[in-house]
Amino acid sequence: MKKIHPSEITPEHVYLSRRDFMKGAGAMALSSLVVAACGSGETPSPSTSPDATAVPTIGGSPQATPQPTSLVDEYGDPLNSYEDITSFNNFYEFTTNKTAVAELAKDFTTSPWMVEVGGLVNQPATLDLDDIQKRFPQEDRIYRLRCVEGWSMVIPWVGFPLASLLEEVEPLSDAKYVRFETLYDPDQMAGQRNSPYPWPYVEGLRLDEAMNGLTILATGIYGKGLPPQSGAPVRLVVPWKYGFKSIKSIVKIDLVAEEPTSTWMEISPNEYGFYANVNPDVDHPRWSQATEQRVRESGRRPTLLFNGYEEEVGNLYEGLDLRENY
């Protein structure tokens, strides 16, 4: 199939009117079942856990004929339903059980919400969600999300380029990386009380990765605000990297000089590196990354270099050994 450039995937081409869009979403919720493959092992992976591996299918909806839909990504693959996207989640602050996140997170307070943007910048800013939505025009972006664990979805995000926000705070010349932090609130997030992981969740990008046009801060899915389990009210989405880079419920964004240590680097540095670029040729120490299970699809499909975004981001890594810099 001929690949259409992502820039050609505009709301005009792809989106029905918002009303029809949501009807389409409902129809797709009845599409065929998928089995989510999960590895298991000593060290937990960002999306794998013993209880999650015990859940082979998502939801319990009856198998029905998939509805024909014009909602596809640039490879022609259908979007996952709103139901799937919001009922099969990784958000370890609540639980490591993917199908239990939505229920455990349902009362998570996401308003008011402040995001502090600072570090090596000329114009530090503290923004609430209203500021963010008013100052940065919200766009629709259909992206693949590929979890390091071997499953993937196609998700229609609402959001805006992270670059627009970074330009406003004016990074200083010694700012080389961006560091992100999730809310720390063990009263609200049981996983922060009960689990051994180092909290708060931290992620990072090189500044040029952060400025790339594909990198967005997402505020919604399917034209609606993010529900808590999806990382409300604002989360990062970096579609060419494994899903764990796309940090949820962000409260802090800092421009820094040194490569930040992410939560998963801290937990298991040999398995989770700073770059975490999707790459079928670089296996996880405990499983192959050559193929993936698209949620609601039977069988596995080949994993694409940079998750199919090589044209847009390949130049960022010229001269970098992708095997060493995993």
Quote the least distance from Cβ 200 to Mo ion, whole Å.
17
Q: Which residues make up the interface to ligand MTE (CB under 6 A)?
A: 46-47, 89-93, 145, 147, 182, 201, 230-231, 243-244, 246-249
Which candidate, 186, 108, 156, places its Cα nearest to that of 10?
156
Quote the least distance from Cβ 14 to ligand MTE, whole Å.
20
Q: Which option in ligand MTE, Mo ion, none does residue 145 bind, with CB closer than 5 to 8 A by kind?
A: ligand MTE
Q: Which option in Mo ion, ligand MTE, none does residue 96 bind, with CB closer than 5 to 8 A by kind?
A: none
Quote the least distance from Cβ 244 to Mo ion, whole Å.
5
Name the residue nearer to ligand MTE (CB basis): 74 or 84. Answer: 84
Name the residue nearer to ligand MTE (CB basis): 120 or 189. Answer: 189
Name the residue nearer to ligand MTE (CB basis): 141 or 248. Answer: 248
Q: Which option in ligand MTE, Mo ion, none does residue 277 bind, with CB closer than 5 to 8 A by kind?
A: none
Quote the least distance from Cβ 242 to ligand MTE, whole Å.
7
Quote the least distance from Cβ 157 to ligand MTE, whole Å.
10
Angle at 163 between CA 10 and CA 217, to 5 degrees: 65
Quote the least distance from Cβ 222 to ligand MTE, whole Å.
12
Q: Which residues make up the interface to Mo ion (CB under 5 A)?
A: 46-47, 90, 147, 243-244
d(CA 159, CA 165): 12
Name the residue nearer to Mo ion (CB basis): 254 or 271. Answer: 271
Name the residue nearer to ligand MTE (CB basis): 24 or 46. Answer: 46
Q: Which option in ligand MTE, Mo ion, none does residue 119 bind, with CB closer than 5 to 8 A by kind?
A: none
d(CA 219, CA 228): 11
d(CA 177, CA 206): 4
Structure-token pair, residue 48: 């794998």
Name the residue nearer to Mo ion (CB basis): 47 or 192. Answer: 47
> In the complex, which residue's CB is closest to ligand MTE?
243
Q: Which option in ligand MTE, Mo ion, none does residue 97 bind, with CB closer than 5 to 8 A by kind?
A: none
